[in-house]
Structure 1
Amino acid sequence: MIRAGHIEIVMLLGSLLSIVFFLQYYSDTEMFRSPKLVKMYNNSYKYSFPKCEQNMAAARISGFDGFPDILKDFLYYRHCRYFPMILDLPDKCGGIEEPEDIFLLLVIKSSPMHYERREVLRKTWAQERSYKGLRIRRIFILGTMGNDFEKERLNKLLKTEHQEHNDILQWDFQDTFFNLTLKQVLFLKWMKRNCQQVNFLLNGDDDVFANTDNIVDYLHGRRENNGSQHLFTGFLIKNGFPVRWDRSKYFVPSQVYEKNVYPNYCGGGGFLLSSFTALMIHSYSNAIPLFPIDDVYMGMCLEKAKLAPAPHIGIKTFGWYIPSKKIDQYDPCYFKDYLLVHQFFPNNMYLMWHQINDPNLKCGVTNSTRTIQT
C-alpha cells in the first residue's frame, strides 16, 4: 500500500522533471529567449535579441485604415525596440577595458543612399581629429533601405565604407522618417553599452553644416559642466502642435497623440547634449512609447525626466536670414560664428568648410554673426 506522503513525493518529482523538460524544450524559443551577451575579440561585448513580430492589434485603432502607409507601419512595429545589428563599432570609444577620452561625439543620422553626404562630412566638419587637445569622433547611424537586390547593394556599400572609415552603426530595420525615433533609441542603447564616457554629443542630420571648432569652444567654455550635468540645447520650439492634416510629412492623428501641444523640444536637424542628459533620455525612454517625430520624442523624454531644453542663437535648424539680397546667402562671413545650420547640400558644405577655415578670410564687424553662449 502506497502512503499519501509517498504519493506527494512522486508527484513533486514528476512536476520537477516536467519543468526541466519544458525549459529544455523551449529554451531556444521566443518565449524564454533573453538577450545574449557575447564577448568579442577586442574585449568588448555584443548583444543579440529575438526578432520582433508585427502587432496586429494596432489595426484596431480607430481610423487606422485611413492612415498613411508609413504611419500604419510605424504603429504595427511601435513596440519593437531591438533589431539585429548589421554593422557595429564595439571599439569606437576604446572598448570596455580601455575607454578613449572623447570630448565630442558626432552622431549623424544618415540614410543608406546618402553616400555623397557622408563622404563630404568625413572631409569637412565631421573629421575625426583633435582640436585644442580635445578629441572629436564620428558615427553615422542608419537602418536599411529597399528590397532584395537594392537592399543588398546598399548594405554592401555601407560595409565597404565601414571597413574603410570605421564609422557606421547599422541596424536591420527600415530607415524611414517615422523610424528616426527608433534610430535614436537604438543609438542610446548602444552608447549605454559602449560609449558612456564621452563628454558631449552633437546629434544631427547629414545635411547640416556644423562648425565643430565653435562647438568645442562653446562646450569647453562651460567650465562648470564636463558632461556630467544636464545640457540640451539647440533651436528651441515652444508650444509646438501636432499636424492633423494627413498629407503632411509630420501628420500625427489624435488617436496617436491626444494633446494639442507638444512639450518643449529642439529642432531635430541638430542639437547638443551632455552624456549625462543622453543617458537620462535613454533611461526615461524605456517608459515612453515610441513617437513618430524624433525631436518631439526627445522633448517628451526630457519632460518626463524634469529636464528642460534650452535655446542657442548659434544653432539654426530652420534656415538662416541674410539681411540683403545683394549678398550671397552662402557668404562665409555669415557662417563663421554659427555652431550649426540646416540645410546644406554637399557642394555648398565642402566649399563653406574650406572658406570659413581660410586664414585669409576677411569679414567686417557688421556682417559677422555673433555667437551668444547660452
Structure 2
Amino acid sequence: MTIVQQLPLMFLLCCQTCVLLFLLWRNIAPGVKQWKRAIKDEHTCHCNVTGCGDEAVQHQEINSKGKRRTLPQYIDLRNLHVILGEKSICGDVAYVHAVFVVHSAVGNYRNRQAIRQIFRRDPYYKKYTIRLLFLLGQPHEMKLQNKIYQEFRENGDIVQGVFLDTYHNLTYKAVMGMKWISQNCRNVKYIVKMDDDVYVDLHNFFTHLYNPFRSSDHTVICRAMLRGQVKVNRKGKWGVEKHHLRYYKQFPFSYCSGFAVVMPAAMIPALYKATLTVPFFWIDDIYLFGMARGFIRKSVLHDITRKKYFEHDIKKNWKCLRRAGCELVFACMSSKLMLHVWKERQKYLNHKQ
C-alpha cells in the first residue's frame, strides 16, 4: 500500500486521537481550573478546595432596577467534613475536666510541638483529665499534607477539615471544631478555645479560673470587647467587606477577643446550631461569640480581668509569671519563648512549694 493510499487511514486515526484528547481535557480541565481558582481567590471567599467561587455566584442577584446586590451567605455544611480526627479522644474516660482546642495554621508545627511539650510535662496535666486538640484546614501543597498525616499518626490530636487553611476560612475552622466536639466530647466540663501562639499557665488556670468560677451553662469567659467600643475596619488584614455591617462604624454587639475563650461544654451544641442560622461572617471571634452567641437565650460574657489575660506585651507577661501572686492564665508569645517561660515558671512553683 502506497503512502497516498494510507492517507485516509492516517487522517481517520488522527481525528479519533483528537476526539479522545478533547474528551479527556473536558473532564480534567474543570477540576484543575477550580483548584487554581481556589488558591487565587482564597483571600476573597470562603470555600472548600473543590468549590471556591461558586458561593459568590449563587449569592448574587439582580433586582428589578437592574442593580446587582449581595445576598446573605450561610455556612456550607460540605465544608464542615472532617478528613482527620480521632473520635475516641474524649471517649476513653468517663469525665474530662477541660479540652483545649487550639486553632493552628498548617505550617505552625513548632507552635504545636511547644504546646504539646508543655502540656505533657506539666504536673496539672496528670492531676486533671485534660485533652488537647489542634484544628487545621488543608494546605496548598500535598508535601505539607503528608507531614500533617505523619504528625497525626504520632500524636492523634489533630482535627482537619476539607477547607483551605486561610484567614478567610477561620470561621469554618471554628464551626467545624464546634460540630466535632458536640459529637465526640460530650463528657467534658469546659472547652478552652485558643490560638497556637498563646501560652496557657495550667497552674493558674485551675487555681484562679477553673475551680473558683461557678458559671451557668450559658456563660462565656473571655476578654470581652464591648458593644459600640470596637471600630469596624474596612481595610487591612482584618478588613470587613462593605456589604457586611453596612453603615456601622462600630460593632453593634459585644464579642470575645479570640486569643483565648473558656466555655461550658454544655453550650457548644447550642452555639453550633446557631451558626447554621446566622449569616456567614469570616472573622470567627465576631461570628461565634458575638453574632451566633446572640441567638442563645441567657448567654452572657464574663470579662477576664487583665490580671488573668494579657495579649501582646511579652515583658509584662514574663515579669508577672516570675512574681508571687501572679494570676496570669493566658498570654501571647512565640513558640521559642513558651518553653523557656514554662521551665522558669516550674522552678518558681517548685521553690514556692
TM-score normalized by the length of structure 2: 0.72
Asked if the contact 2:74–2:276 (Cα under 8 Å) also holds between the matched residues in 1, the reply is: no
SS of the equivalent of 1:273 reads strand
| Equivalent residue for 1:302, pick from 274, 277, 293 | 293
Distance 1:152 1:85 in 2: 17
Pick aligned residue for 2:217 from 229, 237, 249: 229
RMSD, aligned CA? 3.3
Cα pair distance change 1:76/1:156, threshold 3 Å: farther
Deviations 1:346-365 (A, max 9, x none): 111110011111147779xx
Letter aligned with residue 182 of structure 1: Y
Query: For the residues of structure 2 that align with 1:231 and 1:126, how far apart are their CA atoms?
Result: 29
Cα distance change, pair 157–322 in 1 and its aligned pair in 2 (3 A):
closer
Aligned to 1:91, the other structure's residue is in SS state: helix
- How far apart are the structure 2 equivalents of 1:266 and 1:135? 26
Deviation at 1:161, TM superposition (A): 1.0
**Correspondence for 2:344 among 355, 364, 368:** 355
Q: Which fold has the larger relative contact order, with Cα–Cα distance below 8 Å and residues 6 or more apart in sequence? A: 2
Matches within 5 A, 1:181-330: 181-222=171-212, 224-225=214-215, 229-238=217-226, 239-241=228-230, 243-246=232-235, 248-258=236-246, 259-262=248-251, 263-298=253-288, 299-306=290-297, 307-313=299-305, 314-316=307-309, 318-320=311-313
- Name the aligned partner's letter for residue 310 of structure 1: H
Letter paired with 1:252: V
Query: CA, structure 1 residues 322+166, in 2 after alignment: closer, same or farther (shift >3 Å)?
Result: closer
Aligned residues of 1:144 and 1:172 also touching (Cα < 8 A): yes
Match of 2:58 in 1: 57
Which residue matches 1:22?
A: none
- C-alpha contact 2:73 2:280 (8 A) present in aligned 1: no
Distance 1:338 1:120 in 2: 19
Q: Is the 8 A contact 2:101 2:194 kept in 1?
A: yes
Structure-2 separation of matches of 1:360 and 1:218: 15
More helix by share: 2
Give the C-alpha shift of residue 59 in structure 1: 5.4
Using structure 1 for the length normalisation, give the TM-score: 0.68
> Is the Cα–Cα contact under 8 Å of residues 321 and 345 in structure 2 kept in the other structure?
no
Instruction: Please report how far the alpha carbon of residue 241 of structure 1 lies from its aligned counterpart in structure 2 after TM superposition.
Output: 4.0
Q: CA deviation at 1:79?
A: 4.0
With 261-270 and 129-138 compared, the bigger mean Cα shift is at: 129-138
**Residues 108-123 of structure 1 mapped to structure 2, 5 A cutoff:** 108-123=102-117
Pair 1:152–1:77, CA change in 2 (3 A): farther
Cα distance between partner residues in 1 of 2:177 and 2:324: 33
Q: How many residues align?
A: 289
Residue 78 of structure 1 deviates from its aligned partner by 5.3
Counterparts of 1:329 and 1:188, CA distance in 2? 35
Aligned to 2:158: 168
Q: Deviations over 1:191-222 (max 9, x none)?
A: 11111221001101000111122212344424
Q: Could you say if the C-alpha distance between residues 240 and 154 of structure 1 is closer, same or farther in structure 2, counting changes exceeding 3 Å?
A: farther
Structure 2 distance, partners of 1:216, 1:156, is: 36
Q: Unaligned 5+ residue runs, structure 1? A: 1-50, 63-71, 364-374
Structure 1 counterpart of 2:128: 134
Match of 1:88 in 2: 85
What's the CA shift string for 1:230-266, capped at 9, x where partnerless? 23111111124453433x1111133122244321111
Shift of 1:167: 0.3
1-side partners of 2:120 and 2:62: how far apart? 43
